[in-house]
């Protein structure tokens, strides 16, 4: 063999080794640590953008995955909802709404990769949010007759409509924006922005719902709903407050902490950390986040000076997600085309991380999920 061949071979081996080392380093950094998913809501082809999450909370673009449906398009928060993208417990499945085609999609989750399993009609029109508990799925439909519709979800991700599960909301122009199951699966709560109401349904045998119980909201424009670990219903209000409620067996609610000020602007979205002891709100108008501890009885207490973290000015941070280990929080920043990232500190404040950018700004993105 010639000397030049040996040199070429040595270079090839060296380059191959460097590539393998680089690939191995990336795998070590990202595999099995977690992922963040953002939905484009594009009118021609709805997609999920995936980011691999490292142990330090950093994000690495990992690909795009088609939902098999169409979004609504638009610019900033066109769905006006929380929960357009939802991970099931154990983060093995991801659910997405396709507002433009009137369908919902399910994916199997493998690390930061998604595999489309099923796409089904939503049981109404313009689906904007979806919630899941123990294989029971309900989708919130905001077009035509505002309603919720139920499905069963198999372990593999197949969606099956539940007969006679559709329930109308209080009006056909309610401004419904979110829905959430209680931790025991007994209740499904729905917020109505335009009627200042919170609907509660009791979940019945077979997955159907009771008749609606409509309750007045303690604060104006209830937007996002979620339950804490002890069953208190926590609602973020676009009037820049957050309230907590006790839910009775009949579906009526009573305020525990009514409309506690967030000290932010355009408060709409919120997330409860996995252990249920703190809630963070996303304040789009002021590009910041507010934090509150949640007491055992559901009482809300501001963390520090209330505003505990900030995105860059003009971020217009919308939906919000927290990782399964409760260490990191991410926001969908419509105004700058970025994903805001924060580390949750021991005192409840948020430390700003690098996040991810390069997304189209004001492009109609809606929905974020993380684990």
In a domain, 8, yes or no: no
pLDDT digits (tens, 9 = 90+) for 350-370: 999 999 999 999 999 999 999
Strand partners for 226: 234
Residues 6+ apart with CB under 8 A from 255: 218, 243, 244, 245
- The sign one gets for the Cα dihedral 199, 371, 333, 345 is positive
Contact 104, 245 (CB under 8 A): no
Supply the DSSP symbol for 273.
-
Query: Residue 246 and residue 241: Cα distance in Å, rounded?
Result: 17
Find where tokens 């719902």 sit: 209
Whether the pLDDT of residue 13 is over 60: the answer is: no
N residues, the chain: 371
If you average pLDDT over residues 293-306, what whole number do you get? 97
Percentage of residues in the chain with pLDDT exceeding 90? 91
Q: Which of 333, 339, 229, 321 is nearest to 270 (CA)?
A: 321
At residue 218, the pLDDT reads: 98
In a domain, 9, yes or no: no
At residue 21, the pLDDT reads: 32
Contact 278, 269 (CB under 8 A): no
Strand partners for 307: 290
Whether the pLDDT of residue 27 is over 60: the answer is: no
Write down the mean pLDDT value for the chain: 92
Query: Residue 222 and residue 244: Cα distance in Å, rounded?
Result: 11
Contact 306, 290 (CB under 8 A): yes
Whether the pLDDT of residue 309 is over 70: the answer is: yes
If you average pLDDT over residues 80-87, what whole number do you get? 98
Find where tokens 């505003």 sit: 307
In a domain, 369, yes or no: no
Burial of residue 50 (CB within 10 Å: 0-12, 13-18, 19+) is: buried
Contact 270, 280 (CB under 8 A): yes
Supply the DSSP symbol for 302.
E
At residue 99, the pLDDT reads: 98
In a domain, 217, yes or no: yes
In a domain, 2, yes or no: no
Q: Could you tell me the residue range of the domain that residue 51 belongs to?
A: 35-363
Q: Which of 289, 228, 235, 298 is nearest to 262 (CA)?
A: 289
If you average pLDDT over residues 6-29, what whole number do you get? 33
CATH of residue 125's domain is 2.130.10.10
Burial of residue 170 (CB within 10 Å: 0-12, 13-18, 19+) is: middle
* Cβ neighbour number for residue 261 with a 10 Å cutoff: 15
Q: Which of 303, 311, 299 is nearest to 349 (CA)?
A: 303
Q: Which of 272, 267, 283, 270 is nearest to 220 (CA)?
A: 267
If you average pLDDT over residues 48-58, what whole number do you get? 98
pLDDT digits (tens, 9 = 90+) for 124-157: 999 999 999 999 999 999 999 999 999 999 999 9
At residue 38, the pLDDT reads: 98
Q: Which of 48, 201, 197 is nearest to 114 (CA)?
A: 48
Strand order through the sheet with 338-344:
317-322, 328-333, 338-344, 350-352
Tell me how far CA of residue 73 lies from CA of 79, 176, 208, 306, 319, in angstroms: 9, 19, 32, 34, 16
Whether the pLDDT of residue 301 is over 60: the answer is: yes
Whether the pLDDT of residue 30 is over 90: the answer is: no
Contact 121, 109 (CB under 8 A): no
In a domain, 26, yes or no: no
- The sign one gets for the Cα dihedral 83, 86, 89, 91 is negative
If you average pLDDT over residues 281-285, what whole number do you get? 98
CA 273 to chain centre: 12
If you average pLDDT over residues 54-83, what whole number do you get? 98
What's the total number of domains in the chain? 1
In a domain, 29, yes or no: no
In a domain, 11, yes or no: no
pLDDT digits (tens, 9 = 90+) for 167-221: 999 999 999 999 999 999 999 999 999 999 999 999 999 999 999 999 999 999 9
């Amino acid at each position: 063999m010639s000397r030049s061949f040996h040199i070429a071979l040595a270079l090839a081996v060296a380059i191959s080794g460097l590539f393998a080392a680089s690939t191995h380093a990336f795998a070590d950094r990202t595999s099995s640590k977690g992922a963040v998913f953002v939905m484009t809501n594009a009118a021609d082809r709805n997609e999920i953008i995936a980011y691999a999450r490292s142990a330090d909370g950093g994000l690495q673009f990992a690909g795009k995955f088609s939902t098999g449906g169409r979004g609504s398009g638009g610019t900033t928060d066109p769905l006006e909802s929380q929960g357009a993208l939802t991970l099931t417990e154990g983060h093995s499945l991801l659910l997405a709404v396709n507002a433009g085609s009137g369908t919902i999609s399910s994916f199997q989750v493998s690390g930061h990769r998604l595999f489309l399993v099923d796409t089904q009609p939503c049981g109404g029109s313009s689906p904007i949010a979806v919630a899941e508990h123990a294989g029971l799925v309900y989708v919130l439909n905001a077009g035509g007759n505002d309603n919720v519709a139920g499905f069963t979800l198999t372990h593999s991700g197949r969606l099956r409509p539940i007969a006679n599960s559709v329930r109308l909301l209080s009006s056909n122009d309610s401004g419904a924006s979110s829905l959430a199951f209680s931790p025991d699966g007994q209740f499904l709560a729905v917020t109505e922005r335009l009627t200042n109401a919170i609907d509660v349904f009791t979940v019945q045998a077979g997955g159907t719902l009771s008749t609606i119980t409509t309750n007045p909201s303690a604060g104006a424009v209830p937007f996002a709903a979620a339950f804490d670990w002890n069953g208190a219903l926590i609602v973020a209000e676009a009037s820049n407050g957050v309230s907590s409620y006790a839910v009775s067996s009949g579906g009526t609610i009573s305020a525990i902490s009514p409309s506690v000020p967030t000290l932010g602007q355009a408060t709409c979205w919120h997330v409860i950390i996995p252990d249920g002891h703190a809630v963070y709100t996303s304040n789009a108008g002021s590009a910041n986040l507010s934090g509150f501890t949640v007491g055992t009885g559901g009482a809300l207490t501001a963390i520090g000076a209330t505003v505990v973290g900030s995105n860059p000015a003009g971020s217009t941070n919308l939906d919000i997600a927290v990782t399964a280990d409760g260490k990191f929080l991410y926001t969908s920043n419509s105004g700058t085309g970025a994903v805001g990232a924060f580390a949750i500190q021991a005192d409840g404040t948020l430390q700003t991380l690098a996040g991810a950018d390069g997304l189209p700004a004001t492009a109609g993105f809606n929905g974020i999920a993380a684990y």
